[in-house]
Amino acid sequence: MKFNGQTPLARAGLSDGQLLLLQSLWIESIEEALAAAAAADGNGTALQKSGLNTLAVSPEVLGSVTAERLSAVRDVRRGGLLGCLVDEALLESYRTMGRLRPMRAAPCGAFDGELPGAVRLMNRMPPVRDQGERGSCVAFGTVALREFLVGGGDDLSEQFLYWACKELDGHPGPGTFIHTAMSALAQYGVCLESAWPYTPRPSGKEGQGPPPPGALEGARAFCLESTRTVEPNLVLHYKYVLAGDDGKNGMPITFGTLVFNSWYMSPETHRTGKITLPLPGEFPAGGHAWCVVGYVDDASVPGGGYFIVRNSWGAAWAAESPEAAGHALMPYAYVEAFAAEAYTGPADGPVSEKSRLAQCTRILEQDEREALGEKSRRGRLLKPGTRVLADCIIPDIIYEATPKNEAEFLRRDCTWTEESRRKAWFLSPDKFPGSVRKDLDAVRAARKDFTGAIHANMMQSIGMPFPFMTAPWWFKFVPFEWEPAVRTGGEVADLSGDLLPVLRNCAGAPEGLAWPDSWNDLLAGLNEVKVYALRRGGREVHVIAAFLTPIGARKLSPPVIAPFENALGDAVRRVYTEWLETRGMPKPLAAFATLGCMKFLNAEISVADAGDYEVFVSCPDGAGRWKTIMPRRFGDRISIRDFMDRLKPETLPARISRIRECVEALIPEGGNVTLKRVSKETGYRLSVVRRGFQALQKEAGDKYHVYWTDGGEFAIKHFSPYDKKDRVADLFRGNWIRRNGLRFIGTIVGLGGFRARQLFNASGIAGLAFFLIILYITSCVQNEINRRADELKE
């Protein structure tokens, strides 16, 4: 393939061996060779093995190119940002084999129809877009596919889909997996571009969330649950998807490939879009997501042709592409060796029955019996040439492809036995991709962290004020502070097993299909529901602590981790209510549910009719912390707020540790590290930060010093020997003396009044009564002052 401004490689004076090597990489011109040499500069092994190290300095070669063109082809720069994550196991395969997967032949009978020599879908696609300075190529490639399938000219939001991917993948840095994007399309959908426009520059969180109002609701209209996996390295599968069953209903494919500097940094590739194969010994620079929109058979191209690939680096990239600006030409051989994963979807709903049957149909070459391998019976003998339907999991199990059998085969999800149908829906855990196993391990770690923190907090509640239990009305006239405390507490029920049927029902597997033990164990290991009771006398407060990880089952695929929805919170409440009814006891004084999950589906989480049932929902924020959505209404008393803090998955030592980290970060910035500064950074209440300051000084008095600023604010700093002289003064500003100072004054006044009554010859009882009245009034006033101070300082 010749482009304007290129000199044939034959003029370079190369040996036949060198010429054949470069042509096998689809390097056909001197300009492409020089650009590849400049792009791979620094990789001496690759340059030496390819012979480009000598070609790049050959006087004969350099003399065949004008000075202007020589300068242009040596002006190396990257094309755009990458952002398609690749499974580490695949990268290890590349290190050992030089390709992601072993070479394979097309499955027998799967692709027997005739294909056109070329397919082009670009005229049915919107203009090429530019992802800018963000690693969001997966979102761009996936949105291009979704817009094609919508077919109505809707401009969908790459920003929304990328945010949804970052909510799901658990990866805090740039980029995501293509299978995550497909899960996001199924779980979230994608909203219109007008609802959430794309920002080409990074800012704040990687996903730049949360979505604006209305975006989540609008996205559901563009959900896509019927995506299909395309065999990543099977070129024939790509071509059949692009061409369609009848040559009319073809569709694009979103896929990800490895990227190599020999073309990624090449000015010639940036000009023409021509993707060359990597130089020998070259290691990938990363992964990139694209959208395949056509193909052209051409025997001169490695692999026998090239795919037309829509990029997301704008129309200025590959402006001189012979297919369309912004589109790459990728050899079949490149896809066969370096494609990581690929997906497509039906244009008008699920995959056609014709396609599903075709993938499992074969022609017998010898006598075989129906249901071969079936333990119950052996069917009739079928003659060679008979068209049969083979079980997609156990191919030895076959039946003749009659209309009746075809209908039954489709009803059974292209399987013939319950065993194979179960295997189709419930992939064995040892076959999960590395990325899925990593995600599941992250869920298990989060569950352990959440349940451990809540358990510790519940045990710490013993001896603390009993929540929502108020003293009698007359108790406010008692001249001292008192709140009823929790006497006993602990775990009273494990309802995890009761919730599992609910989670199985919403997984999406066929109704009535028994779950294998491995998947039951998987689900049990990701979810937990326990009930804690805090008691005083005959009264109880219940805390339902639940970590919830719903999973979605998909045919021939590993499980998908689904986000939390309000319906799950309702299910937990139903399970708890049923358990409460079986006890035959009255409702507790109050009930709280603290729910942990890996991700939220909605920006707002609420549980209907939660008058006596407060709900907290927490999920990891990606930075080692927990984000909690909590009720907007709660009591004014500090004891109640402290109790609600214990419903969050963060222990007291963890809070103190976080306060310490914040203090250490703020001290170098200068100024007083006050309660308000630390509260703003951590999100903790002022009283929590104050206790944290005091705990730091108590635990590490030789390192931290708590003091009052000139403005009367409570602050902390590193301890200095010069601070010792202030310790006595600080003592009189301490909490106990400050809160009870008025009582001391009242006592002195009472003693003075008692002495005055004696001087006026008052009786001893009258003087004592006068003293007690003064002391009582003073204590009541002090209690009210302390109560209001507690409310104000929050």
pLDDT band at 634 (very low <50, low <70, confident <90, very high): low
- 148 part of a folded domain: yes
Mean pLDDT throughout 60-72? 79
- The answer to whether residue 398 scores a pLDDT higher than 80 is yes
Q: What is the pLDDT of residues 172-227, one digit of tens each?
A: 899 999 999 999 998 899 999 999 999 999 988 899 989 998 888 888 878 887 78
Residues 547 and 450 in one domain: yes
Q: Domain end: 594, 626, 648, which one? A: 648
Residues 583 and 469 in one domain: yes
- 540 part of a folded domain: yes
pLDDT band at 688 (very low <50, low <70, confident <90, very high): confident
Per the structure, the complete domain to which residue 67 belongs is given by 9-73
- The answer to whether residue 376 scores a pLDDT higher than 50 is no
Closest to 356 in 3D by CA, of 508, 228, 513, 249: 228
3-state helix, strand, coil in the chain (%, to 5): 45, 15, 40
Find the angle CA(656)-CA(662)-CA(663) to the nearest 5 degrees: 85
Residues 44 and 162 in one domain: no
- The answer to whether residue 724 scores a pLDDT higher than 60 is no
Q: What is the dihedral of CA 630, 634, 637, 643, to 10 degrees?
A: -40
Pair 307, 276: CB distance under 8 Å: no
Residues 376 and 421 in one domain: yes
- Predicted pLDDT at 278: 94
Look up residue 101 and give its DSSP letter. Answer: S
Phi then psi for 563, rounded to 5 degrees? -80, 165
CA distance 424 to 173: 34
Lowest mean pLDDT among 38-42, 263-267, 351-355: 351-355
Q: What is the pTM of this model?
A: 0.54
Lowest mean pLDDT among 70-79, 227-236, 451-460, 490-499: 70-79
CA distance 334 to 258: 9
Phi then psi for 762, rounded to 5 degrees? -75, 150
- For the chain, the domain total comes to 6
Find the angle CA(326)-CA(211)-CA(613) to the nearest 5 degrees: 150
783-790 contacts at long range (C-beta below 8 A, 24 or more positions apart)? 783/476, 783/479, 783/480, 783/481, 785/742, 786/481, 786/739, 790/637, 790/638, 790/687
Residues 755 and 723 in one domain: no
Closest to 284 in 3D by CA, of 91, 492, 153: 91
Pair 173, 192: CB distance under 8 Å: no
- DSSP assignment of 199-224 equals -SS--SSTT--SPPTTHHHHHGGG--
Residues 250 and 312 in one domain: yes
The strand pair at 398-400 and 387-390 is best described as antiparallel
Residues 492 and 639 in one domain: yes
Q: Is 506 exposed, middle or buried (0-12, 13-18, 19+ CB in 10 A)?
A: middle
- The answer to whether residue 794 scores a pLDDT higher than 50 is no
Q: What is the pLDDT of residues 476-485, one digit of tens each?
A: 555 555 567 8
What tokens does 738 get? 């400050």
In 525-601, which ranges are E strands?
528-536, 539-547, 551-552, 560-561, 590-596
Residues 210 and 292 in one domain: yes
- The answer to whether residue 458 scores a pLDDT higher than 90 is yes
- The answer to whether residue 765 scores a pLDDT higher than 90 is no
- 433 part of a folded domain: no
Q: Is 153 exposed, middle or buried (0-12, 13-18, 19+ CB in 10 A)?
A: exposed
- The answer to whether residue 701 scores a pLDDT higher than 70 is no
- The answer to whether residue 246 scores a pLDDT higher than 60 is no
Phi then psi for 107, rounded to 5 degrees? -65, 140
- The answer to whether residue 267 scores a pLDDT higher than 90 is yes
CA distances from 283 to 175, 259, 262, 338 (A): 19, 9, 10, 12
Q: What is the pLDDT of residues 702-718, one digit of tens each?
A: 788 888 888 888 889 88
Lowest mean pLDDT among 81-85, 425-429, 526-530: 425-429
- Predicted pLDDT at 562: 77
Pair 165, 186: CB distance under 8 Å: no
- Predicted pLDDT at 730: 42
- Predicted pLDDT at 95: 92
Angle of helix 496-505 versus helix 566-583 axis, rounded to 10: 140
Residues 511 and 373 in one domain: no
Q: Residue with structure tokens 């393939």? A: 1
- Predicted pLDDT at 728: 35
Residues 287 and 374 in one domain: no
- 420 part of a folded domain: yes
Neighbours of 313 (CB within 10 A): 22
Question: Mean pLDDT: which of 21-30, 379-388, 622-631, 730-739 is highest?
Answer: 21-30
- Predicted pLDDT at 295: 97
Q: Domain end: 697, 717, 733, which one? A: 733
- 3 part of a folded domain: no
Pair 544, 591: CB distance under 8 Å: yes
Q: How many residues are given for the chain? A: 794
Q: What is the pLDDT of residues 281-292, one digit of tens each?
A: 899 999 999 999
pLDDT band at 733 (very low <50, low <70, confident <90, very high): very low
Residues 314 and 399 in one domain: no
Which residues, other chains included, contact 627 with Cβ-Cβ below 8 Å and sequence gap of 6+?
A: 618, 619, 620, 621
Cis peptide before 278, with omega less than 30 degrees from 0? Answer: no
Q: Domain end: 698, 715, 733, which one? A: 733
- 350 part of a folded domain: no
Q: Residue with structure tokens 């992964």? A: 287
Look up residue 320 and give its DSSP letter. Answer: T
Residues 667 and 769 in one domain: no
- 434 part of a folded domain: no
Pair 397, 417: CB distance under 8 Å: yes
Which residues, other chains included, contact 95 with Cβ-Cβ below 8 Å and sequence gap of 6+?
A: none
